[in-house]
């Protein structure tokens, strides 16, 4: 064996180890970011904001307080306020008069009851002159308006409004369980939701660029490894003979490294999220008594899952049909592709005479039609397109629900790095299989 060939093998082995270590580090970083994003999605969940009655109470109370605090009597608005008070007082006096008359004159069926009612009404007319009271309504209205402008009156109105809103919300809506939210805030030592948004958002943003470089580094190292093992400079390390059963130009060590490289991509794709679905309302604003009521960053739905995560969720349901789907996903998209790659190496180099076994021959030569790896890639991509269109359409409809409501929606559905790693595995395994078949054909010319 020449020194150049030994050097190339050593370099290829170093590249393989580097790709393995970088993939392990990338998997750790991606799952750390996945945990941060999942926790951030829970912190910003809509049930702690837009669907929480307590949050509505806080915002409505604040709007009412601002309106009450801003209320000041001036020469410009005093006539308008006075007219409103006059209408209320006049209506109140009329209703009281009519109510008393109905009560006095409806009496029983006996003559005594009727006479009693007439006497009561006569005494009432002598004691209370409703017409005279109604003529004094403007005077009373002036006094009411003066009282409304006093600070103690404003404080009392605020207190009464807050009590009414709290009572109405408590009687109408169930209390939101915020135990998980409080636990997350405590775990990250955040004072409130806004502080956690900033803190976790900064951590996720800081990890984005290093993760991108690591993904590119893994693909680059795998590409270099394929080039070192399959390039024209590899030479013919094995003599060409008609009876040779090994692909010319490749030895077991080189194919071992290439097989391992494809499995590295497979593991990276399986152990990290493949798709991230993020549907949220960035901002919802409505006007109440001239004051804006706003909710921001309301997460409607967030999920970031790997293939194993999806299978585990399906298994936990306990339903027979879901368990069947989970088993099919694992078998055809995880086990079959991995076994096919290993069986290919065993078959082409007849490791320990295993080429003749039915299992190795099946997985090396015939399992391609059963493997669903490429189908899974297309399914994930189509799911991404479907979710993206569905989320965008449904959230967009909120904008047209009411002209009084302003809704700014965000669709954050993306293909995660795990998808691209899995796609790289599919392409690398297909490329390796085609090369081996071609080179095996060279060793058996017709």
Looking at the fold, whether 141 and 271 belong to one and the same domain comes out as no
Element (H, E) at 278: strand 275-288
Q: Could you give the CA distance from residue 62 to residue 45 in angstroms, rounded to a whole number?
A: 22
- Helices 417-443 and 373-399: angle between axes, nearest 10 degrees: 160
Last residue of a domain, one of 155, 172, 189: 172
Residue 80: C-alpha distances to residues 65, 77, 88 (Å): 21, 5, 13
Looking at the fold, whether 236 and 346 belong to one and the same domain comes out as yes
pLDDT recorded at residue 86: 85
Q: Name 94's Cβ contacts closer than 8 Å, sequence gap at least 6.
A: 130, 134
- Evaluate whether 215 touches 420 at the Cβ level (below 8 Å): yes
Give the chain's domain count.
Answer: 2
pLDDT recorded at residue 414: 79
Q: Name 327's Cβ contacts closer than 8 Å, sequence gap at least 6.
A: none
Looking at the fold, whether 218 and 167 belong to one and the same domain comes out as no
Residue 324 lies in a domain: yes
Residue 399 lies in a domain: yes
Antiparallel, parallel or unpaired: β 414-415 and 275-288: antiparallel
Q: Which residue in the block uniquely carries the two structure tokens 């693909």?
A: 219
Residue 58 lies in a domain: no
Question: Tokens standing for 308?
Answer: 């194993």
Looking at the fold, whether 334 and 437 belong to one and the same domain comes out as yes
Looking at the fold, whether 21 and 36 belong to one and the same domain comes out as yes
Rounded to the nearest angstrom, the gap between the alpha carbon of residue 323 and the centroid of all alpha carbons in its chain is 25
Looking at the fold, whether 363 and 438 belong to one and the same domain comes out as yes
The residue among 219, 343, 215, 233 whose CA lies nearest residue 11 is: 233
Residue 57 lies in a domain: no
Residue 305 lies in a domain: yes
Q: Could you give the CA distance from residue 147 to residue 67 in angstroms, rounded to a whole number?
A: 17
Q: Name 173's Cβ contacts closer than 8 Å, sequence gap at least 6.
A: 53
Looking at the fold, whether 247 and 135 belong to one and the same domain comes out as no
pLDDT recorded at residue 236: 47
**Domain that includes residue 318, residue range:** 3-52+178-443
| Burial (0-12, 13-18, 19+ Cβ within 10 Å), 25 | middle
| Burial (0-12, 13-18, 19+ Cβ within 10 Å), 360 | buried
pLDDT recorded at residue 393: 54
Question: Tokens standing for 162?
Answer: 């807050």
Core vs surface per residue 425-441: b (16+ CB within 10 A) or e: bbebbeebbebbeebbe
| Burial (0-12, 13-18, 19+ Cβ within 10 Å), 52 | buried
- Evaluate whether 416 touches 273 at the Cβ level (below 8 Å): yes
Core vs surface per residue 88-108: b (16+ CB within 10 A) or e: ebbeebeeebeebeeebeebe
Residue 357 lies in a domain: yes
Residue 380 lies in a domain: yes
pLDDT recorded at residue 129: 74
Last residue of a domain, one of 131, 148, 172: 172
Residue 110 lies in a domain: yes
- Evaluate whether 221 touches 19 at the Cβ level (below 8 Å): yes
Coarse DSSP helix, strand, coil percentages of the chain, rounded to the nearest 5 percent: 75, 10, 15
Q: Could you give the CA distance from residue 40 to residue 280 in angstroms, rounded to a whole number?
A: 12
Q: Could you give the CA distance from residue 438 to residue 23 in angstroms, rounded to a whole number?
A: 30
Looking at the fold, whether 271 and 403 belong to one and the same domain comes out as yes
Q: Could you give the CA distance from residue 37 to residue 184 in angstroms, rounded to a whole number?
A: 12
Question: Tokens standing for 407?
Answer: 């809704």
Looking at the fold, whether 221 and 353 belong to one and the same domain comes out as yes
Looking at the fold, whether 189 and 296 belong to one and the same domain comes out as yes
Looking at the fold, whether 311 and 413 belong to one and the same domain comes out as yes
Last residue of a domain, one of 172, 190, 224: 172
- Evaluate whether 120 touches 104 at the Cβ level (below 8 Å): yes
Looking at the fold, whether 99 and 242 belong to one and the same domain comes out as no
Which neighbouring-strand residues pair with 411? 279
pLDDT recorded at residue 366: 64
pLDDT along the chain (446 residues), means of 10: 78 94 95 93 90 81 72 72 83 80 67 68 69 82 76 74 68 77 93 92 94 95 89 50 46 83 90 84 78 84 81 82 80 78 75 72 66 58 52 54 55 79 84 71 50
Q: Could you give the CA distance from residue 441 to residue 438 in angstroms, rounded to a whole number?
A: 5
The residue among 306, 405, 295 whose CA lies nearest residue 52 is: 295
pTM more than 0.75: no
């Amino acid at each position: 064996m020449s020194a150049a060939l030994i050097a190339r093998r050593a370099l290829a082995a170093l590249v393989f180890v580097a790709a393995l270590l970088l993939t392990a580090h990338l998997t750790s970083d991606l799952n750390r970011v996945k945990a941060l994003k999942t926790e951030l999605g829970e912190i910003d969940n809509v049930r702690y904001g837009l669907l929480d009655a307590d949050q509505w109470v806080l915002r409505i109370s604040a709007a009412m307080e601002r309106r009450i605090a801003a209320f000041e009597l001036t020469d410009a608005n005093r006539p308008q306020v006075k007219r409103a008070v006059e209408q209320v007082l006049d209506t109140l006096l009329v209703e009281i008069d009519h109510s008393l008359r109905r009560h006095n004159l409806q009496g029983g069926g006996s003559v005594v009851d009727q006479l009693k009612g007439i006497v009561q009404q006569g005494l009432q007319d002598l004691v209370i002159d409703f017409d005279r009271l109604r003529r004094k309504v403007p005077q009373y209205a002036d006094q009411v308006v003066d009282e409304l402008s006093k600070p103690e009156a404003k404080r009392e109105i605020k207190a009464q409004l807050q009590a009414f809103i709290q009572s109405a919300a408590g009687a109408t809506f169930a209390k939101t369980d915020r135990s998980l939210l409080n636990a997350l805030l405590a775990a990250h030592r955040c004072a409130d939701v806004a502080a956690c948004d900033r803190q976790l958002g900064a951590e996720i943003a800081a990890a984005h660029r290093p993760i991108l470089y690591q993904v590119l580094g893994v693909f680059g190292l795998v590409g270099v490894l394929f080039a070192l093992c399959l390039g024209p400079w590899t030479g013919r390390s094995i003599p060409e003979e008609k009876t040779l059963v090994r692909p010319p130009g490749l030895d077991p060590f080189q194919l071992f490294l290439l097989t391992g490289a494809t499995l590295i991509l497979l593991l990276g794709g399986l152990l990290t999220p493949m798709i991230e679905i993020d549907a949220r309302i960035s901002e919802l604003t409505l006007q109440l008594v001239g004051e804006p009521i706003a909710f921001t960053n309301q997460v409607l739905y967030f999920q970031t899952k790997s293939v194993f995560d999806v299978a585990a969720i399906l298994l936990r349901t306990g339903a027979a049909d879901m368990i069947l789907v989970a088993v099919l996903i694992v078998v055809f998209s995880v086990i079959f592709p991995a076994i096919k790659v290993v069986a290919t190496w065993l078959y082409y180099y007849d490791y320990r005479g295993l080429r003749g076994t039915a299992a190795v021959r099946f997985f090396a030569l015939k399992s391609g039609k059963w493997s669903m790896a490429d189908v899974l890639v297309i399914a994930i991509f189509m799911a991404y397109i479907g979710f993206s269109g569905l989320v965008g359409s449904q959230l967009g409809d909120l904008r047209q629900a009411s002209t009084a409501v302003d809704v700014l929606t965000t669709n954050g559905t993306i293909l995660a790095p795990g998808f691209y790693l899995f796609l790289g595995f599919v392409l690398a395994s297909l490329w390796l299989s085609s090369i081996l078949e071609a080179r095996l054909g060279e060793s058996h010319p017709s």
